[in-house]
Amino acid sequence: MRITIIAVVGILSYLLVLLPGYFLFFSEDDAKSEVTELLTKVLESGSGAKSAEKLPLTNPGDAPPPK
């Protein structure tokens, strides 16, 4: 009986997470929703900022003295 209850709760919690995500990213009219457009803009702007920032590879100096 306990195993059945745990299985039912597990399936329901899985569906609770899966179904909203499915309807959020896969709309019925095959058009991009506002959420997916916003996510693509955020990802594009975030990746551009990381690639533009290059740190120079120089010698940082001597190693600290041993303790």
Is the pLDDT score of 52 beyond 70? no
Q: Can you tell me the distance from the alpha carbon of 38 to that of 24, in angstroms, rounded to the nearest whole number?
A: 12
Determine, yes or no, domain membership for 47: no
Confidence of residue 1 (pLDDT cuts 50, 70, 90): very high
- Residue 48 falls inside a structural domain: no
Task: Give the tens place of pLDDT for each residue, 8-33.
Answer: 999 999 988 888 777 776 666 656 66
Which residues fall within 8 angstroms of residue 25, CB to CB, at 6 or more apart?
A: 33, 35, 36
Which alpha helices (H) appear in 1-67, and where do they start and end?
2-25, 34-52
* 14 found inside a domain: yes
Instruction: Decide if 60 is inside a domain.
Output: no
Q: Which domain holds residue 24?
A: 2-42
Residue 22 lies in a domain: yes
